[in-house]
Structure 1
């Protein structure tokens, strides 16, 4: 009887872990989709959205370095009262980051 209860508990635990892992993958793919759809014409909004979405991802060392570099480049767009389009060098850095987390 105890083996049946233990087996059931073990099965439910494994099932729960698999569900959590799958939902984590879905969350990551949703974030990547949102990052790809950023509109770089509005620099301020894009800069804040990139920062918010990028911080939600679990990043390795390389991805964290790329995120930090893009984050530093975006600071000039965040703290200005007037919004301007993001320059091509910064967009390229953001695209490299997105490719690295895919």
Structure 2
């Protein structure tokens, strides 16, 4: 005798596709992604400005820029660009949320 496959019936909701999720849940996912990107962008802003500030301090104290000044400036600009990219991603996710919400009404 074969036993019923309890594992498949108990976990039937695990493998749902995005189209099977409720509309409200799909719309909320975009807002959650946007919020995560904004929080990460804020987290990257603090080290970016501190590195740029350190580079400015090093540049003021020495007449010629040394490797430490250049490295701090590059690190600050790189971190700032990551922050800007995350803000752009957040705007894209928010726009997708608004677009999908207007379509489903």
TM-score interval, smaller chain? 0.3 to 0.5
Give TM-score scaled by structure 1 length. Answer: 0.43
Give TM-score scaled by structure 2 length. Answer: 0.42
